[in-house]
Structure 1
């Protein structure tokens, strides 16, 4: 909570101002950042083939990260101007540091040419057979190191540190596992953050939970603004965006839920990671009707794209 003299009314006004800033800035930045971001990605040759074999810009998560980081820096600046010294300010600094770093490792992987190795077994297999570190392995090493360093400032006990480290290290890869179809990774991010928010409201109270969400709001809003471009097949999040969203989801559990909730999520993430090495999540989603409908919600199919293109090119 904020350590300020003036009572709850002053604190409430400050939090309302911060939330307004957290909403307004991503909305203002959306169009210019998307325009500049897509131009830069095209210039860098960040084109990849999607699951339908169509060329699509990747690493679009860079736009989302820029929007979230700019907003976060403004929020921290406002906190400092108000003379706020609190755990919330520390969380903001750690959140921005972690998000930028995780996005960097994802960007490095998006830029790399070695795309053949998949999953932990694939990357460790290349290391064992060829004595070569793939970009995915560098992402694993960098993400794990980042999670460890952040945990040193977040945890106050060995058990809490172990759980926090596991969540921060695994959550980016969990989102990345689902980034195989348009919009799917963003939907999983929404589900995880909604779950974390619900547990926070239930266990630690509304005021504390909302304070913990102040730096997550810009990320959530930026993901909503990116969603139409993602499901429309115009741009992919890439490892840059998946890493950033995954870290944000994991961080929300670490600072916003009790240790038993964190431990439960860590077990779930571990099970999902192990399962992903032996089965295809896409195949499972296709076989379960309600998952398939949720997965396809909002997505523009190739047939609809062709129909729209034909309709727009017809004579009036």
Structure 2
């Protein structure tokens, strides 16, 4: 085998990924000003931590762009039709439920524990509780679709593991979306960790690369506290991390990821991640990178 036989496919893959990234970034550049304008016109504004009224559902950018970019990828044979449709189902579904929670949410009940207690004690289904139930249904559909074509003797445990990964990852980014830019930084960090431990990166990298391009365009606006991602963005992004874990990681890496996310979820009910970050010099420095200090 000649060296050119190895380098040519590699070069084509690199060019393909560069084009995907550039197209996604350019589309975000074109569309985001219009989305911000629509949010202002609709009056969907909330005070940031400086008490300034800013667009509260800017994460709708991801819902608007990812289906378009995914369809382009699919038409160019970057990803399979089956995987693309599963991906679209999840991002549109999770984004829609996040949007409903942004619009209808009652902040009196916070966290999974708060929504569960509201249902048990008050017989009241909160918007967050409804989002969790609907998200669980989507997670079950996705996990089943991934497992059953190649079902093994261990499929019930694989189904449960994948289901829990999707559910917990969907809420993970939301746990950190309390300061400008923090959710985006957490997403980028977890994304890179998953890529580093991926066992089949080539099969799925093109599906998730557009998210990185869109985040890199969006993040400066968030860091300057000009927009908020909202649940529509954080839930969608979290679900994509869950999909990456299911598709890309080994069983051992999945179990480790699940343990970490369970620990994060339980910790969020007891402690403030913001206070932990502010008390740690390294974490505080990373958290403040790119953020305007006032």
TM-score (norm 1): 0.84
Q: Tell me which residue corresponds to 2:72.
A: 74
Q: Tell me which residue corresponds to 1:312.
A: none
Count of paired positions = 284
Question: Partner of 1:72: helix, strand, or coil?
Answer: helix
Superposed CA offset, 1:113-142 (max 9, x none): 522211122212322343221111111111
Q: Tell me which residue corresponds to 1:49.
A: 47
| RMSD of aligned residue pairs (Cα, Å) | 2.0
Question: Partner of 1:214: helix, strand, or coil?
Answer: helix
What is the CA distance between 1:51 and its match in structure 2?
Answer: 2.6
Aligned residues of 1:61 and 1:241 also touching (Cα < 8 A):
yes
Question: Partner of 2:91: helix, strand, or coil?
Answer: helix
Question: Partner of 1:104: helix, strand, or coil?
Answer: helix
1:114 to 103, 106, 117: 106
CA 1:286 to 1:9, structure 2 compared with 1: closer, same or farther past 3 Å? Answer: closer
Aligned residues of 1:22 and 1:215 also touching (Cα < 8 A):
no
Query: What is the alpha-carbon distance in structure 2 between the residues aligned to residue 211 and residue 21 of structure 1?
Result: 17
Aligned residues of 1:232 and 1:299 also touching (Cα < 8 A):
yes
Aligned residues of 2:62 and 2:211 also touching (Cα < 8 A):
yes
Unaligned runs of 5+ in 2: none
Aligned residues of 1:253 and 1:262 also touching (Cα < 8 A):
yes
Query: What is the alpha-carbon distance in structure 1 between the residues aligned to residue 19 and residue 81 of structure 2?
Result: 16
Q: Tell me which residue corresponds to 2:240.
A: 248
Query: What is the alpha-carbon distance in structure 2 between the residues aligned to residue 25 and residue 60 of structure 1?
Result: 20
Unaligned runs of 5+ in 1: 1-6, 304-316
Query: What is the alpha-carbon distance in structure 2 between the residues aligned to residue 136 and residue 268 of structure 1?
Result: 23
Q: Is 1:299 equivalent to 2:291 in the alignment?
A: yes
What is the CA distance between 1:252 and its match in structure 2?
Answer: 1.1
Map residues 94-243 of structure 1 onto 2, 5 A cutoff: 94-155=86-147, 156=151, 157-200=155-198, 204=199, 208-243=200-235
Q: Which moved more, 1:255-264 or 1:48-57?
A: 48-57
Q: Which moved more, 1:291-300 or 1:8-17?
A: 8-17
Question: Partner of 1:56: helix, strand, or coil?
Answer: strand
Map residues 263-278 of structure 1 onto 2, 5 A cutoff: 263-278=255-270
Question: Partner of 2:257: helix, strand, or coil?
Answer: helix
Aligned residues of 1:67 and 1:218 also touching (Cα < 8 A):
no
Aligned residues of 1:42 and 1:57 also touching (Cα < 8 A):
yes
Q: Give 4+ residue runs of structure 1 displaced > 3 Å after superposition.
A: 7-18
Superposed CA offset, 1:58-90 (max 9, x none): 1111112322221111111222xxxx9x8x442
Q: Tell me which residue corresponds to 2:282.
A: 290
Query: What is the alpha-carbon distance in structure 2 between the residues aligned to residue 186 and residue 96 of structure 1?
Result: 21
